[in-house]
Structure 1
């Protein structure tokens, strides 16, 4: 009985090994990418500190989250900024740590977690832009 249990355990470990070996490692940003993001987030945080919704809109990919109802800066300020950029969230983004990762299409992005929201900043051909607000679950 013990022998059979050992064989089953060994078989399970052998079958599990390839899956563990294929688990992706945590992505690490290059120093150039990190430097570019640092410059972007410094400007973004300055805009938040002064509660400058126009500046934030100017650093946002529009239409925001591919929503045609938020296709320009005025709509972003009216429909998104006041709802999600509360004083609490602005303070959180200003002091929060940004975490680097890559999405399924291999796009570089950083996320800042603030309570129930995740604020996402993605590398685009135009540089980094604010691109998404997700739910922190």
Structure 2
């Protein structure tokens, strides 16, 4: 009698698990960009990488959200080139951005961003009303 009870419990457990299995199946990653966003970013990053390859600080500044990181002292292209580009866009970082894989994320406010990690720095590109723009350079903790 005990064997039949164990078999019955095992059968019930297997039936329950088979019904729960879809809940544990792999779901689409929330880090996958919607196709329209990915297409827009692909066009932007191609231009951005071309500017980096040419070491064209003016072109990079034109693809940057100003004032940069809400700093009033970096409110125009010349200030960006002097204060940011000259220090953060070293040859090494330019090559990294040109080759690095961009990681997509959407925040709680539904803002689409991509991140490229280069050593100690994270370059953030955010979708704005004007399209994608370089929006932040932060420390990679």
Question: Could you tell me the TM-score, scaled by structure 2's length?
Answer: 0.78
From the CA coordinates, give the structure whose radius of gyration is larger: 2
Q: Could you give the per-residue CA deviations for residues 13-72 of structure 1, whole angstroms, max 9, x where no partner exists?
A: xxxxxxxx9xxx533211111010000000000000000000000000000000001000
1:126 matched residue in structure 2: 130
* Structure 1, unaligned runs of 5 or more: 1-20
Question: Could you tell me the TM-score, scaled by structure 1's length?
Answer: 0.80
* Structure 2, unaligned runs of 5 or more: 1-23
Do residues 74 (structure 1) and 75 (structure 2) align? no
Q: Secondary structure of 1:106's match? A: coil
Do residues 40 (structure 1) and 30 (structure 2) align? no
RMSD of Structure 2 on Structure 1 (CA): 1.2
Distance 1:46 1:84 in 2: 17
Distance 1:126 1:90 in 2: 23
2:11 matched residue in structure 1: none
Q: Secondary structure of 2:83's match? A: helix
Distance 2:115 2:32 in 1: 13
Of 97, 111, 115, which aligns to 2:101? 97
2:6 matched residue in structure 1: none
Distance 2:89 2:121 in 1: 10
**Shift in Å, 1:105:** 1.9
Point out 4+ residue stretches in structure 1 off by more than 4 angstroms. none
Segment of structure 1 superposing worse, 118-127 or 100-109: 100-109
1:65 matched residue in structure 2: 69
